[in-house]
Amino acid sequence: MTIERPNRPAMVRKPGEYFQRDRDIHPPAFTPGYKTSVTRSPQKALLSLEQSLSEMTGPVFNHNAIGELDHDMILNYAKDGEPIGQRIIVHGRVMDESGKGIPNTLVEAWQANAGGRYRHKKDTYLAPIDPNFGGCGRCLTDEEGYYYFRTIKPGPYPWRNYINSWRPAHIHLSIFGPSFSQRLITQMYFEGDPLIDICPIVKTIPDEEAIKRLIAPMDLNASVPLDCRAYKFDIVLRGRRSTLFENRLEGN
Amino acid sequence: MVQPLTYFKETPSQTAGPYVHIGLAPAYAGFDIFENNFSNVVAGPNTKGERIKVKGRVIDGTGTPVRDVMLESWQANSEGKYNHPEDSQDKAVEEDFLGWGRICSDFDTGVYTIDTIKPGPVPGRNGAIQAPHISLWIVARGINIGLQTRVYFSDEVAANAKDPVLNFVEQEERRQTLIAQRSEENGEVIYTFDIYLQGEQETVFFDV
């Protein structure tokens, strides 16, 4: 039996603009402790833009773009054996600020090898290259927003900031989401690393709580016994309004 | 007391660092790993529209080109339609038009190049029409959070004059920092777009 409610139109929940970015939890542009930021930071205020189609859309990637081993840094550059170092899984969920998983989105990762050496023609650190380790991976999240990589835990790395500056062990991560306004690059750090507290790049983030959200806990439950340990790293992209009572025309 | 307002917080940004190429453009780092690589070619041979190159440098506060910068571009096709499921305009998108490009500057000169087609005008807010533009996202060592800007075109004078975003830039002279200059070299259409990160000529950057 159908109950008729002639005077009650269905409630419309139309996906709308993305939440305003909370700039207080992100690093500001000018952070003199990280010296390169001094001449690479805009001095004028950013111009806040109400979102149009240009900001609410973004590139969509399909599975054809990604190779079968792209997510596996233990195997994707193995030449005559496997790379040396601590074997780990890095896994987690990409979600938005409402906690909703973001499916089929591209996650890319890059890092140094176990000794802190990058496979990059501009890296001249004396620690050796690992012939079986490239140091980059990528994957698409699954239907629920989950992703994982297999890799080698990266080593700390010296860099020219102060005379004796060392980066904590870290993995760079790049994430898309469905709109160009969610585009994000960040770095994941490892639980218990004493270099985190003194790193000028970590300290570009003004908010202690926000820093904690970049530190991945060890996750024994996701480890593979006698093979590799795991670290869990969830990634949150901007959430999205849904307009509850839509009474404006399409495109507004 | 009130109910807790339970939203998660966005993951904070960190710099892409000097070795961003390893993960996002391995050929630039000096090695070959993936079968498919992303590139600065936004439109394939079957995409309609005027073939153009957008070319320029990203320049720091001392006037020095940033040679380790990476940019990404996002644009509509020549009909003004985005290759995205939420663009509901009744227009077609070519199969070989991704709309997105990943662009690295040259390590010696700092010059970047986007190989694309000129986009058409796209809908703005509240029924307005936006002048043709390309959205850019810029990351590098020393940039803590990606910078967003837009490229407009010098030969779109009338459309630019009505563009809601350009008109939102309060100082008229700063609008010029968003307009790429058209020229022709050996039969190619080149739009020159230098990006000034800091100082007197500073490019307008957006919080989108």
3-state secondary structure A174-195: EECCCCHHHCEEEEEEECCCCC
Interface ipTM: 0.96
Q: Which pLDDT score is estimated for A252?
A: 40
SS3 A52: coil
Across residues B62-71, what is the average pLDDT? Answer: 98
> Is A26 one of the catalytic residues?
no
Look up residue B161 and give its DSSP letter. Answer: H
Residues A120/B22, Cβ–Cβ less than 8 Å: yes
Smallest Cβ distance to A47: which of B9, B15, B168?
A: B168
Q: Which pLDDT score is estimated for A5?
A: 56
Q: Specify the DSSP element, H or E, that contains B17.
A: none
Q: Each residue of A20-70: pLDDT tens digit?
A: 999 999 999 999 999 999 999 999 999 999 999 999 999 999 888 899 999
Q: Which pLDDT score is estimated for A7?
A: 61
pLDDT band at A10 (very low <50, low <70, confident <90, very high): low
Q: Which pLDDT score is estimated for A2?
A: 58
A148: phi then psi, degrees, rounded to nearest 5: -155, 150
- Locate the domains of chain B by residue range: 38-196
**Cβ neighbours for A68, distance < 8 A, ≥ 6 positions apart:** none
Instruction: Calculate what percentage of chain A has a pLDDT beyond 70.
Output: 91
Q: Each residue of B169-185: pLDDT tens digit?
A: 999 999 999 999 999 99
- For residue A57, which residues of chain B lie inside 8 Å, CB to CB? 74, 82, 84, 86-87
Q: Say if strands A235-237 and A87-96 run parallel, antiparallel, or are unpaired.
A: parallel
Dihedral angle sign, alpha carbons of residues B54, B55, B58, B63: negative
Size of interface A-B (CB pairs under 8 A): 270
Q: Which pLDDT score is estimated for B122?
A: 97
Least confident of A185-199, A237-251, B2-16, B90-104: A237-251
Contact flag B11-A108 (C-beta cutoff 8 Å): no
- From CA B86, how far away is CA B28, in angstroms rounded? 33
- For residue A21, which residues of chain B lie inside 8 Å, CB to CB? 10, 207
Mean residue pLDDT across chain B: 97
- For residue B86, which residues of chain A lie inside 8 Å, CB to CB? 15, 53, 56-57, 178
- For residue A216, which residues of chain B lie inside 8 Å, CB to CB? none
- From CA A57, how far away is CA B82, in angstroms rounded? 7
Across residues B17-39, what is the average pLDDT? Answer: 95
Nearest CA in chain A to B20: A110
Dihedral angle sign, alpha carbons of residues A16, A100, A178, A236: positive
Longest dimension (CA), chain A: 78
Question: What are residue B97's DSSP bridge partners?
Answer: B43
**Cβ neighbours for B204, distance < 8 A, ≥ 6 positions apart:** A44, A47, B149, B169, B174, B175, B177, B178
For residue A247, pLDDT over 80 is answered with: no
Q: Say if strands A106-110 and A170-175 run parallel, antiparallel, or are unpaired.
A: antiparallel
User: Which of B34, B36, B144, B178 is the best mutation test for A, with the most CBs of A within 10 A?
Assistant: B144
What is the CATH architecture of B38-196?
Sandwich (2.60)
Question: What are residue B148's DSSP bridge partners?
Answer: B137, B206
User: What pTM does this model have?
Assistant: 0.95
- Contact of A212 with chain B, judged by CB distance below 8 Å, is answered with no
Q: Which pLDDT score is estimated for B165?
A: 98
Instruction: Calculate what percentage of chain A has a pLDDT beyond 90.
Output: 87
Across residues A177-201, what is the average pLDDT? Answer: 98
Smallest Cβ distance to A172: which of B7, B17, B66?
A: B17
- From CA B194, how far away is CA B56, in angstroms rounded? 5
Q: Each residue of A108-126: pLDDT tens digit?
A: 999 999 999 999 999 999 9
- From CA A72, how far away is CA A79, in angstroms rounded? 14
For residue A11, pLDDT over 80 is answered with: no
- Contact of B108 with chain A, judged by CB distance below 8 Å, is answered with no
Dihedral angle sign, alpha carbons of residues A216, A218, A220, A226: positive
Dihedral angle sign, alpha carbons of residues B55, A175, B60, B141: negative
Q: Which of A170, A189, A238, A240 is catalytic?
A: A170
For residue B58, pLDDT over 50 is answered with: yes
Q: Each residue of A183-193: pLDDT tens digit?
A: 999 999 999 99
pLDDT band at A4 (very low <50, low <70, confident <90, very high): low
Q: Which pLDDT score is estimated for A62?
A: 87
Contact flag A204-B125 (C-beta cutoff 8 Å): no
Q: Each residue of B104-157: pLDDT tens digit?
A: 999 999 999 999 999 999 999 989 999 999 999 999 999 999 999 999 999 999
